[in-house]
Structure 1
Amino acid sequence: MSWVEDANRQVDFLIKQLHLKGTEKILDLACGFGRHSLEFARRGYDVTGIDITPAYIDYANEQAKKENLNAKFICQDIRTITFDEEFDVVLNMADGAIGYLEDDGENHKIFSVIAKALKNGGKHFMDIMNGSYAQTHFPCKLWDAGEKGLTLSAFEWEKDRKTLIYGQVDYMYGEALYKPEMKEGNPIRLYSLDEITEIFCKLGLRICNSFADFSGKPSSDNDIQLMVYSIRE
């Protein structure tokens, strides 16, 4: 499935599960190059996307202009956003920067931005890695066969900090085997559904549903993905 087809399928899911009518104003946090934002805009929604990477924002704005879409994209650190009860929907897709900051205090700023940006009765959806899964399944190593070679992914788990350390190394087909240096990504603070529920309750957000994937399967501690739908009250 292509990225375009995948984005279309995910937007279909969001519209159905969040009971969207087509008139909502949507904020997409850490939107990347706008694959979800642009698809919502193509369907008539008023969309604002935020990302800290200039190249992503430039691409998204160019695409929105090219297609004459009602979408704007802003290059900004999410923590500095000052929207106040302006949006019907806030999205954090493909992690949406949740858990990527240096400590719990900084990560919680993202949650505060979400709650503040939502109108009363507004809806939030996040798609993150499941902290409960990490506690019981990491550390582990996985091999993945691609078109050009094999990728070895290593998942380490710092239990006290509830933090994932991810490393990756590539082996190209036809090349001599050697022991390359594993490339480590930034540590990611992972959250369980119970933690999200507690944090959101303090911010006036009520959990409505949680899923394990975009088929609508209910979430569980044995699923690596955690998707949470909540409403601001």
Structure 2
Amino acid sequence: MSCTNCKGVSAVNLKNTVTHGWDWWAYQFRVVHRRGIEGIDFWDDRLISFILRVLDLKPGERLLDLACGSGVHARRLARRGIEVVGLDIAPSLVRYCTEQAAAEGLDNVTFVEGDMRALPFHETFDALVVLSTSFGFFDDETNQRVLEGIARALKPDGRLLLQLSDPHTFVERQKARCYWQERPEGIYWTEAWFDPVTCVSHGVFRFTDNEGVTHLWDDHERVRLYTLPELRLMFDRAGLEISDVYGDILLPPVPYGPDWHQEMIVVGRRVQEDDR
């Protein structure tokens, strides 16, 4: 369900509220809300097949799933024989991921708490993925530092994949500034907008549970949407090189361009010193 103005969101009963930090919301969105998305298992399987194909992953290779969320993709990759480390800033997600991996008997996937702005790895991974538009949370200088940390974490010639929103398609799809979704656990209220001056998308979230309690976030989401020319410059500064760009997770892969830009999936590698 959606509404074209913000009256529906502002009319939420705010007398009975609880305000949470990101750790609570991370679990609510990445685990609870995600479970109810129709067709999510099919989408996840398709994404994993795409990743394996375009990164040419082989059993035994080491991969970092940066901002791993619920860990569903890390676990699926581990089942294919990849040695996976999933990193997320939310302790609630790291605990959940660890429990799920143990329940599935996976011993080739590890989940750790960490901040993508300060990655502790040096030439550790054959490949790295950032999925579900989890790049761009910070200002331009900090986002650049994230890419530089990614380059350090990769082995020379290591591969990476960023799954990003195409800015034009993102704006085109944003028909309603405010909308709500009814789920078995309650109602999710969202106010979202795109600022063309800064190229930043914003999202304010509320959740009303079945007991009538409205849960608020003590902040709001901001994601910088980059164009491909901007990303090429950022990759170059970080010691990375873009090799391919795709417009979706379809197989066979479809190149990103005027005829297909449902999303922007950037595939690249760490440049060896001799190549620079």
Tell me what 2:126 maps to: 88
1:231, distance to aligned residue in structure 2 (A): 1.2
Q: What is the Cα-based RMSD across aligned positions, in Å?
A: 3.0
1:25, distance to aligned residue in structure 2 (A): 0.3
Query: Are the aligned partners of 2:248 and 2:262 in contact in 1 as well (CA < 8 Å)?
Result: no
Amino acid at match of 2:124: E
CA distance in 1, matches of 2:189, 2:69: 25
Amino acid at match of 2:266: V
CA distance in 2, matches of 1:109, 1:56: 24
In the alignment, is residue 60 of structure 1 matched against residue 118 of structure 2?
A: no
1:144, distance to aligned residue in structure 2 (A): 8.1
State the TM-score, normalized to the length of structure 1.
0.82
CA distance in 1, matches of 2:150, 2:59: 21
Tell me what 1:47 maps to: 84
Q: 5+ unaligned residues in a row in structure 2: which ranges?
A: 1-37, 209-216, 272-276
Tell me what 1:112 maps to: 148
Distance 1:214 1:138, change over 3 A: closer
What SS class does the counterpart of residue 176 from structure 2 fall into?
A: strand
- 1:58-81, CA deviations, whole angstroms, 9 ceiling, x for partnerless residues? 111112222133111011112121
Tell me what 1:73 maps to: 111
- Aligned residue pairs total 222
What SS class does the counterpart of residue 267 from structure 2 fall into?
A: strand
1:41, distance to aligned residue in structure 2 (A): 0.8
1:139, distance to aligned residue in structure 2 (A): 6.4
Of the structure 1 ranges 208-217 and 115-124, higher mean CA displacement relative to structure 2 is found in 208-217
Query: Are the aligned partners of 1:155 and 1:167 in contact in 2 as well (CA < 8 Å)?
Result: yes
Matches within 5 A, 1:17-56: 17-56=54-93
CA distance in 2, matches of 1:31, 1:132: 26
1:196, distance to aligned residue in structure 2 (A): 1.0
Query: Are the aligned partners of 1:132 and 1:192 in contact in 2 as well (CA < 8 Å)?
Result: no
Amino acid at match of 1:202: R
1:191, distance to aligned residue in structure 2 (A): 0.7
In the alignment, is residue 159 of structure 1 matched against residue 209 of structure 2?
A: no
Determine which of 110, 126, 129 is the counterpart of 2:162.
126
In the alignment, is residue 190 of structure 1 matched against residue 222 of structure 2?
A: no
Distance 1:133 1:4, change over 3 A: closer
CA distance in 1, matches of 2:93, 2:187: 28
Q: Which has the higher contact order (CA 8 A, sep 6+)?
A: 2
CA distance in 2, matches of 1:7, 1:169: 26
Of the structure 1 ranges 1-10 and 194-203, higher mean CA displacement relative to structure 2 is found in 1-10
- 1:119-175, CA deviations, whole angstroms, 9 ceiling, x for partnerless residues? 1111000111123445x638642778767799886642222211112356899xxxx
Amino acid at match of 1:231: R
What SS class does the counterpart of residue 19 from structure 1 fall into?
A: coil
Determine which of 41, 44, 47 is the counterpart of 1:10.
47
CA distance in 2, matches of 1:152, 1:60: 26
CA distance in 2, matches of 1:33, 1:153: 21
Query: Are the aligned partners of 1:4 and 1:35 in contact in 2 as well (CA < 8 Å)?
Result: no
Amino acid at match of 1:164: S
CA distance in 1, matches of 2:174, 2:45: 33
CA distance in 1, matches of 2:180, 2:77: 32
1:23, distance to aligned residue in structure 2 (A): 2.3
Amino acid at match of 1:59: Y
What SS class does the counterpart of residue 31 from structure 1 fall into?
A: coil
Distance 1:139 1:3, change over 3 A: closer
Query: Are the aligned partners of 2:201 and 2:224 in contact in 1 as well (CA < 8 Å)?
Result: yes
Q: 5+ unaligned residues in a row in structure 1: which ranges?
A: 172-182
